[in-house]
Amino acid sequence: MQVTPYLTAAFYKFVELADYRERKQVLLDLCTSLRIQGMILLAHEGINGTIAGAPDNLRVVLDFLRSDPLLHDLKHKESWSDKPPFHRMKIRLKKEIVTLGLDGIHPSKMAGTYVKPKDWNALISDPNVLVIDTRNDYEVELGTFKRAVDPRIKTFADLPDWVENSEVFEGKALKKTKVAMFCTGGIRCEKSTALMKAKGYEDVYHLEGGILKYLEEIPEQNSLWQGECFVFDERVSVGHGLRVGKNELCRCCRQPLAPHAKQSSEFELGVSCPRCYGITTEEQKSSARERQRQCELAASRHQRHVGESLL
């Protein structure tokens, strides 16, 4: 029996959508009618989504989005799977499509300069360039670029405080300092460069397409990337050539689970890992155990439990 492949598309665009609230129902109705599942965020500052479904149906949705003059140049990244990566379709109205928590930051008007992957090595090899990884600490733990500064933030919303207080900026003249920022797919570093511009830094750059585009295009022998890149899907992490990495996922905190972590007494399948064991209550652990039991029961029946955690 031939398996019908599922196409997943990830996309975002910073653009002023004054009528973003009115867009929700039309888009939800279209996706539902085509059996497209996933998540789309709509805000005044733009759109951010990951959706999956039958290839032809998915492309109908993408064509619909691009039929809007404001989204005509919307770019997306594709990946394939034999199983549906999502169980339902959600469209949420948000204040921001990626949460920074500051007013007056407009990436559509003030983001830094795009740098293509082929030109990234030369930029970050310059000792006068301050290279900043804008991702969360658990992502940086798996891999990053040579010379990159790790802000050690728990969430993206922590970045403004770090920029305000970090000693790496001490003694640097705003207008003379070159800053290069990067993230997984481009959305966080695009917004973070807008933050830097708002603070007075004029010479600010970000990696076009993010780490994923770099790993896709740059041969390993020429790469300045070290380690693996955490991704927000069932692959968990990828390496050069976007080959699936060695890391698994903790189904409780949804953060990467290194192979050695499974040997810890704080690891329990579907319930906890060394990273989250100390921050969940016994009630939460009990609930997670029941969910894991239901998932295993569904698997024994060759079914997929609707409560199974997905990224």
- CA 31 remoteness from chain centre: 22
Instruction: Tell me how far apart the 2 most distant CA atoms of the chain are, in Å.
Output: 65
The rounded radius of gyration (Å) of the Cα atoms in the chain is 20
C-alpha span between 168 and 231 (Å, rounded): 28
Structural tokens at position 122: 């030369």
Q: Which residues contact 228 (CB under 8 A, 6 or more apart)?
A: 142, 143, 237, 238, 239, 245, 246, 247
- CA 212 remoteness from chain centre: 10
Residue length of the chain = 311
**Whether 183 is catalytic:** yes
The active-site residue out of 183, 250, 252, 273 is 183
CA dihedral 284, 288, 290, 291 (to 10 degrees): 140
C-alpha span between 149 and 269 (Å, rounded): 33
Q: Which amino acid is residue 79, in one-letter code?
A: S
| 256 contacts 230 by C-beta, under 8 angstroms | yes
DSSP states along 90-118: EEEE-S-SS----TT--HHHH--EEE-HH
CA distances from 53 to 28, 40, 42, 113, 253 (A): 14, 14, 20, 34, 26
Strands 89-93 and 37-43 turn out to be parallel
C-alpha span between 93 and 67 (Å, rounded): 21
**What residues act catalytically?**
183
